[in-house]
A and B are shown apart, each in its own frame.
Chain A
């Protein structure tokens, strides 16, 4: 959504009257292509300028499904000093953090080293992104927290990056994407989960990524809308893989967050998982309890893009089935499908649930309460 605000002055004291919120999905961008160079070995500067950063799809730059707007971002979010949307801290503060009274903002950088075919380059870029998040964002703005971005296709190296950042209060989670070379429950990714658990950090799984697999189980679709709607299906398969490969059983303190892929699918998926598990549990003896138990104890969902039924009571019933303690409010700033915190919840939600939804659940999960 685009909100044209620049021509109008902000109301005099919005912060004082708005309740504080957590925004669990903010996308910081680099102002220039070379902004990471100070944290990147010289070898990689030349590599990026000659060969680029090849991913598991054919495009040298940009995504294979063109976005709906430049950088998939709000047209009103270009910083006045130039650069792409989301690349200016001062403008993010003025346009989003201050007027919406964001008390906690979790940064999820995209377009990093994740999902690159050259794993050494991926590792270098992810490490640089993590340094950059601290230098440019979290050290300048205490309301913002960073995600440890890891080159997940190389499990041991990714685990080393997590260990390097463990204990650093700038970071509140490990960030993965949903679409990878293999489903996320596969063993190649287990070193990441082991390191995250040891560091006491949840693993956030954000929609997107390219792992070389068609983005539907029946091949490549035609349109961006199919990719966008399809994130919920990719996320369902990723979560099913995590449960059925036994990740939650093997790493009993590990929590996970499903980011930007909807949450409406959760009840139906869980009912299906439980039903099929009853029939086929002998195939997966490492899954010792019904899938619903792992998911209800260990999985959270960010809210954006908010489920939006015709009848608002349907939304409230849906959240009742998932649990009001499971949802983490997110806006997806500065992306085009941004959710406005003042508009997402219907009337009729108790004060306690409203507070949990907007702030309390996030503070609790991220250990900031």
Chain B
């Protein structure tokens, strides 16, 4: 096991909304009434069923309630345990699944306010992601601008599968807002289930959805690169969260080969895909889809041809590793420092911004 060093940044932890009713205090009268009158149920996505083994490590699962719903548990099991300076909260609550843009917007606003009040206010090491739904780009931007006044929000959070590929031009105003406000754009595993969960249709099993996340990240990366997002927004950082990364080298070989053969179709893509990834794309460390032997893993790092791509993550409370083995075996001291400290700070400039008390408007 490679030991974590103190002062790292955990770029993917998941505080859980205990229940839809937990958001009621953050909804206005109309939406509170909608939720209660219509008997809306808890917005749990099939991507992360509460009791699925992937949703929590067995020893992190609380006696009652959802894994990740208790701040003291998170402190003991992740923040203190891995001695982090910061942890970035990526709430995975199924607000993206609803079809009404008005309801989705109200729920996103409530979720972001809930995160600020119930987590960020209570624990100074925590930082937040602004959850937006893509049903309305206009409303997403308004929510990004509203939350960005609070420097504790360090990125915009999207799901890897939604209505359209994320490189589509309709979404670019969101990326412009993020770039302007110094926010990274995090893309997390999970689906809005507005399309079949795989590119070949609906499977029968939860396990297929889990496997399919990696393929979804691959197609999104293609879309973001070939549509030209990073030509327009050269300083924008996008972070693939819970994406896996061992697929990256052969994916890039293939994309590079087709880019060479088909440049006439997307002539605005002025740099090789690998260069774009090096300058604009980052990946969270967990899960590590590789055999647990240091030799293979170090070959994979060599294939990635950069030590700047990975950001430390525990994926708390999801079950990705046992005990304290949050870092895989065989990492050099230099690489540990890059992954845990240097790379996250280079990706999230807002981590350096001093935080005053009572900053949330």
Contact of A284 among B205, B259, B296 (CB under 8 A): B205
Interface bracket on B: 35 or more
B211 CB contact (under 8 Å) in A182, A222, A240: A240
Which residue on chain A has the smallest CB distance to residue B264? A68
Q: Are B257 and A183 in contact (CB under 8 A)?
A: no
Decide: B201 and A268 in contact? CB cutoff 8 A: no
Question: Is A49 part of the binding interface, using a Cβ–Cβ cutoff of 8 Å?
Answer: no
Q: Is A336 an interface residue (CB 8 A)?
A: yes
A309 CB contact (under 8 Å) in B160, B166, B199, B253: B253
In the complex, A31 has a CB within 8 A of chain B: no
> B244-270 vs A: 1/0 string, CB under 8 Å?
101101110111111101101110000
Measured between beta carbons, the chain A residues less than 8 angstroms from B67 are none
CB distance from B343 to the nearest CB of A (A): 21
**CB of B246 to closest CB in A, whole Å:** 4
A277 touches B207 (CB 8 A): yes
> Is B99 on the interface with A (CB-CB < 8 A)?
no
A321: chain B residues at CB < 8 Å are: 296
Instruction: Indicate if the CB atoms of A213 and B262 lie closer than 8 Å.
Output: no
- Judged by a CB distance under 8 angstroms, whether B309 is at the interface is no
Stretch of B84-92, B285-293, B327-335 lying at the A interface: B285-293
B211–A308 CB distance below 8 A:
no
Interface string of A234-275 (1 = CB under 8 A from B): 101110110011000000000000000010110111011101
Q: A236 to B207, Cβ gap below 8 A? A: no
Does A39 belong to the interface (CB within 8 Å)?
Answer: no
Pick from A214, A307, A308, A318: contact of B196, CB under 8 Å: A214
Residues B276-322 near A (CB distance < 8 A): 287, 289-291, 296, 299, 302-303, 305, 319
Q: Which of B191, B291, B319 is A217 in contact with, Cβ under 8 Å?
A: B191
A68 to B259 alpha-carbon distance, docked (Å)? 12
- Contact check, B222 vs A265: say whether CB atoms are below 8 A apart: no
- Confirm or deny: A108 has a beta carbon within 8 angstroms of a beta carbon on chain B: no
Contact in complex: B247, A265 (CB < 8 Å): yes
State whether A310 touches B203 (Cβ < 8 A). Answer: no
Q: Mark A310-347, 1 if CB is under 8 A from B, else 0.
A: 10001001100100000000000000110000000000
Q: Establish whether residues A221 and B223, one from each chain, have CB atoms under 8 Å apart when the complex forms.
A: yes
Contact digits for A162-203, partner B, Cβ 8 Å, 1 yes 0 no? 000000000000000011111111100000000000000000
Inter-subunit contact A217/B262 (CB<8 Å): no
Chain B nearest Cβ from A214, distance in angstroms: 5
| Contact of B251 (CB < 8 Å), options: A178, A216, A265 | A265
Smallest Cβ-Cβ distance to A321: which chain B residue: B296
State whether the Cβ of A37 lies closer than 8 Å to any Cβ in chain B.
Answer: no
Q: How far is the CB of B292 from chain A (nearest CB, A)?
A: 10
Q: Restricting to A123-165, which residues have a CB under 8 Å from any CB of B? A: none
In the complex, what residue of chain A is closest to B164 when comparing beta carbons?
Answer: A219
- Asked if B214 is an interface residue, CB under 8 A from chain A, the answer is yes
A263's closest neighbor in chain B, by CB? B250
CA of A269 to CA of B203 in the docked complex: distance in angstroms?
Answer: 17
Separation of A262 and B251 alpha carbons in the complex (Å): 10
Contact B198 A183 (CB under 8 A): yes
Q: For B254, what are the chain A residues with a Cβ–Cβ distance below 8 Å?
A: 229, 232, 262, 264, 305, 307
A244 touches B205 (CB 8 A): yes
Assess whether A228 is in contact with B211, with CB atoms less than 8 Å apart.
Answer: no
Q: Is the CB of A241 within 8 A of B200?
A: yes
Q: How far is the CB of B221 from chain A (nearest CB, A)?
A: 9
> Which single residue of chain B is at the shortest CB-CB distance from A309?
B253
C-alpha gap A264/B251 in the complex (Å): 7
Whether the pair A226, B201 counts as a contact (CB closer than 8 A) is no
B207 adjacent to A217 (CB under 8 Å)? no
Taking a contact as CB atoms under 8 Å apart, the answer to whether B303 and A241 are in contact is no
Chain A contacts for B136, CB-based, 8 A: none
Quick one: which of B220, B222, B256, B264 has the most chain A CB within 10 A?
B222
User: Which chain B residue lies CB-closest to A225?
Assistant: B262
Q: Mark B137-166, 1 if CB is under 8 A from A, else 0.
A: 000000000000000000000001111111
Q: Which residue numbers of B lie inside 8 Å of A, CB to CB?
A: 52-54, 160-168, 191, 194-208, 210-212, 214-216, 218-220, 222-223, 226-227, 244, 246-247, 249-251, 253-259, 261-262, 264-266, 274, 287, 289-291, 296, 299, 302-303, 305, 319
* Contact sample, A vs B, 23 pairs, CB 8 Å cutoff: A68-B265, A180-B201, A182-B200, A213-B199, A214-B196, A216-B219, A217-B191, A217-B195, A217-B212, A222-B165, A222-B168, A226-B223, A230-B199, A245-B203, A264-B254, A268-B244, A272-B287, A280-B206, A284-B207, A305-B254, A305-B257, A314-B249, A314-B303
Task: Add 18 more A-B contacts to A186-B203, A245-B204, A280-B52 (CB < 8 A).
Answer: A179-B200, A211-B200, A219-B194, A219-B195, A221-B223, A225-B265, A226-B226, A232-B251, A237-B199, A237-B203, A269-B247, A272-B214, A275-B287, A283-B205, A284-B205, A308-B256, A310-B305, A318-B303
- Chain A contact residues, CB within 8 Å of chain B: 68, 178-186, 211, 213-226, 228-230, 232-234, 236-238, 240-241, 244-245, 262, 264-265, 267-269, 271-273, 275-277, 279-280, 283-284, 305, 307-310, 314, 317-318, 321, 336-337
